[in-house]
Structure 1
Amino acid sequence: MEHVESLDDDRIIRRYMDMILATQRSNYYQLDDQGKPKPWLSLKLRPADIPDIPPPVPFFEIFVYAPDIEGVHLRGGKVARGGLRWSDRQEDFRTEILGLVKAQQVKNTVIVPVGAKGGFVCKRQPQLTGREAILAEGQRCYKRFIRALLDVTDNIVDGTLIPPASVVRHDEDDPYLVVAADKGTATFSDLANAVSEDYGFWLGDAFASGGSNGYDHKKMGITAKGGWESVKRHFRELGINCQETDFTCVGIGDMAGDVFGNGMLLSKHTRLVAAFNHLHIFLDPEPNAATSWKERDRLFNLPRSSWEDYDPSLISEGGGVHSRRSKSIKLTPQVQKLLGTRKQSVPPNELIGMILRMQVDLLWNGGIGTYVKAEVETIPM
């Protein structure tokens, strides 16, 4: 390295060296049933050995790459549990999964020692049309992602630990790998367990929770129902029965999600005036509680729905669905009144800030991200 003259070149080469030295396992030398190299690459990394990696730093990370799929699986420790997400964030899915695993770490403190989370993107999805074609591609990529994870995971056969074939291990024995459902994969657990059985993995159908032998998180709505008990308690302290009286609400998320979707159906008196996720901003200044509930219920049961699927004829005057990629969003008189502003147009992020500061009865955070902080708190960079 002493012969590298450029500081930038030196920094880049050292970073590559750090990544290579942090790699604990790879399936690069494995062959498929036809004796050909597998069409995907799995790299198991120890992130703590990589300088300047954004926190929280996982204990292990498996990176999966193929022409049609990319994904990561992050674990907080050797014994960890968490779901796999079908992400549509092609550019920054790792950032999304890192935020999810941070929350999972907290939630799993009373379940297992630490949390985990995984996610993948279907790189051909933007070129597909039709829900059936997109679903089939998602399932195919999901199974490929599961295979890639198991390629670099130890197995146990008759009580004896068996390392994966054609893999040089630079870490210790590591046979514990489990997955669960998350957004987009709520019905995929049987697919994962079928792959587990095909690999002869020691956990069998305990590898993926959910499926035909387990719980469907979205169908049961356990998380949302628990959170809604707190909502009812808060309203009760204000002298309001939110199950019998209309109230206004702002939401973070969309109806395809488990927590947001279930939560926005738990009272037929919810008047959702605004909501946003990472793709869209939904505005409905004067919603009809009964009509909007029925439409949200339709979206909840529509596979991989988005706010764009909301029937525009059911949105009150001045409302609409806007892309977060827009340069600016025009504010109608009805929306101006709703937000308490005279501005005629604002960028999407500024509009989200206005939504979060609106005078409403309930803020339902069923999405990803932290949007509220105390004045004394700082934002980590």
Structure 2
Amino acid sequence: MSTITQRGLNKAGLSRRSLLTATGAAAIGLTFTACGEKPKAAPGAEEAKLNFYNWDTYIGETTLGDFKKATGIDVNMSLFATNDELFAKLKAGNPGFDVVVPSNEFVTRMSQGGLLEPLDHAKIPNMKNIDPSFLNPEFDPGRKFSMPYTWLLLGIGYRKSKVKGVPDSWKWLFDSDQYKGRIALLSESADLVRLSAKYLGHSVNNIPQDMLPKIEQMLIKQKPFVKAFHDDNGQDMLMSGEVDLVLEYNGDIAQAMKEDPDLDFVVPKEGSLINSDTLCIPKGAPRPNNAHAFINYLLDAQAGAEISKTILYPTPNAAAKALMPEDYKNNPVIFPPADVMAKCEYGAFEGAEKASQYEELITRVRAA
């Protein structure tokens, strides 16, 4: 196991992505491996190893070692920082990954681009543990290419002692100078454009062309009041006191709230954007049988519960959720109530041209 332990990462308050920035792992290719002797492959069988490409701080503390004890398969876990990085790596040709963790719209994008292997559901019997509401998503009908790992919801993390009332509208982040210099926005372009559209009364999808200049002008006007566009380490900025309001994922703020009771999280009244991170087998995976076995293991009830205890993201695994303590199952930050979720949507992949348009819009905002 790497000397940088998962426990240490969580105590440091790092998000699923921020470790890469802190350690330079993107440059040095930081890898985590399960402990123990290197197993030997049986004659004619796949080598007893597996290469897992994952977000940082996004696995249980003992998951990789437990999987090795159960199967003899040694897991090498490398880390990526963004879906764009994962996509670019696989588009250039799979360098040997067996399991990857793309977010919802990238499942669509990668499957359409021929970058994913279809899953053999017969080799994933723990699929029975998944909450039925996650079994037929629009981004991957019938779960042909992906299994659900977690889901995430964007909202506003804030410091209660510094903010007057509850910041229950995107206006607080996108259209107000009330907390100038005390705001941090997530840097992902599609998320910013979509949530701005949500604030302006539109769906996060099929945003009309004539709305894009309005979004750009609104964000350019807001930019002088924004302290930073962060790479999903907004909870760190909130905990350190750099900012008082931040656009961030519910799981990241739930982790921070355990350490700092002055923090809270709200989903704005206009609604928000749901993301789902998934388990996929990339095209050309050298060990597809091991990959199916690993995905099946991660969907086990006990294994899933151990992961959720560490990362505190909402789980789509109903059997794992049933094993979790009440302070997880009943936490409204991790599992917002139904009336809140009813106003939230998944972002759809609407083509590379639109993705580029959003990137260019936010590049202009940040350069303004």
Q: What TM-score do the two structures reach when normalised by structure 1?
A: 0.27
Q: What TM-score do the two structures reach when normalised by structure 2?
A: 0.28
More helix by share: 2
More strand by share: 1
